């Protein structure tokens, strides 16, 4: 969970930077790299612990929100 939060923080910071520097190709490249990495980290987390948010689907296709551990308990 900490890694997910770290990667998403970097994405927010890069987004803010790109708002004022939209033509910085290196920042765009970094953003794309971190966005892909964020997807991978979240997918691994969800495979192990279940969905992170309402729109996430786990691979078992079962409703399992009442199963522990909850995302904030990990």
Cis check: omega of the bond before 69, within 30 degrees of 0:
yes
Stretch 12-16: mean pLDDT, rounded? 97
| pLDDT tens string 43-71 | 999 888 877 876 665 555 555 656 666 66
What DSSP character marks residue 23? T
Tokens of 61: 């296709």
CB of 41 closer than 8 Å to CB of 35: no
Q: Which residue reads 């708002």 in tokens?
A: 19
pLDDT of residue 23: 95
pLDDT of residue 59: 52
Stretch 17-33: mean pLDDT, rounded? 96
pLDDT of residue 13: 97
Cα–Cα dist 1/64, whole Å:
19
């Amino acid at each position: 969970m900490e890694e997910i939060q770290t990667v998403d923080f970097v994405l927010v910071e890069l987004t803010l930077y790109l708002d004022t520097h939209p033509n910085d190709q290196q920042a765009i490249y970094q953003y794309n790299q971190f966005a892909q990495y964020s997807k991978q980290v979240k997918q691994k987390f969800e495979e192990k612990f279940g969905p992170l948010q309402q729109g996430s689907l786990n691979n078992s296709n079962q409703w399992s929100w009442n199963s522990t551990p909850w995302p904030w308990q990990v």
